[in-house]
Amino acid sequence: MSWREKNLWCETLISALVSVYFFYHSFAILLSLDADSAFPVRDLTRLIISTVILSIILSTVLFTLLRMLSGDHSATVEPSDERDRLFELRSNQVGYWTLCVITAFVIGAIVINTTSADSDTLQLNIPMSPLLIAQALIAALTLASLAKAASALFYYRRGY
Amino acid sequence: MSGTLVKNNIRRLRLLNDEMTQAELARRIGVTRQTLNAIEAAKYSPSLELAFKIAHEFDQPLDDVFSYATENHSKES
């Protein structure tokens, strides 16, 4: 397995762990809300900050471990070739489409929520505050990053 | 679909050239060993530039290193 592929495994693992941490806690916060309760600005802000910190700590620990375990340090400066660039482009495309699809859903939810305030047939009943929208966009970015890393791994494992 | 229709003689040519390793050839043409392995196994088609580099390393014309195996050609041969 090349250094680049090991790097990708770390990246995927970090994305997966951070996603699980973030969504588990954000859903816990949102589901605990009553109809009359105020939006938990402080809890969500704290969650976003702790997710960023967790991501930095995990990256530092995992990449340091990887560097220590792969004894030959010359391998760490392995230049990328045309196949690496091809896989990067393909996985960027997967990440881009994932981001587009999730963002479209978020925009759709905002539009439906805004236009259906007086409608009896179509209502989401989700308090679309700016903070919730920001959280949804962070979720989109996280999932897109995960999709990008996972698809790159798929291409490396497949070989072409 | 698995792999490509671009077939090659890289493995044979390596063995004929003092049993050159994949790592050595990869270093000479400026790619990773994994990429050369994928090309050799006909899983990945190299760019024209890389194909010329490989042929140049063996001092062979491109046709002697790479061939395009269409279904019709495969049946004829």
Full-model pTM? 0.77
Cβ distance of B30 and A160 shorter than 8 Å:
no
Residue B36 lies in a domain: yes
Residue A72 or B4, more confident: B4
Count of CB atoms situated within 10 Å of the CB of B38: 22
* Number of folded domains that form chain A: 1
Q: Which two tokens stand for residue A39?
A: 């939006």
* Number of folded domains that form chain B: 1
Residue B15 lies in a domain: yes
- Round to whole Å and give the CA distance between B6 and B44: 8
**Among A29-43, A73-87, A136-150, which range has the highest average pLDDT?**
A136-150
Per-residue pLDDT tens for A30-48? Answer: 777 776 777 778 888 898 8
Q: Could you list the residue range(s) of the whole structural domain that residue A121 is in?
A: 3-158
Residue B31 lies in a domain: yes
Give me the interface pTM, i.e. the ipTM: 0.79
Cβ distance of B4 and A2 shorter than 8 Å:
no
Measure in Å the smallest separation between the Cα of A14 and chain B Cα atoms.
Answer: 25
Q: What is the CATH number of the domain that holds B19?
A: 1.10.260.40
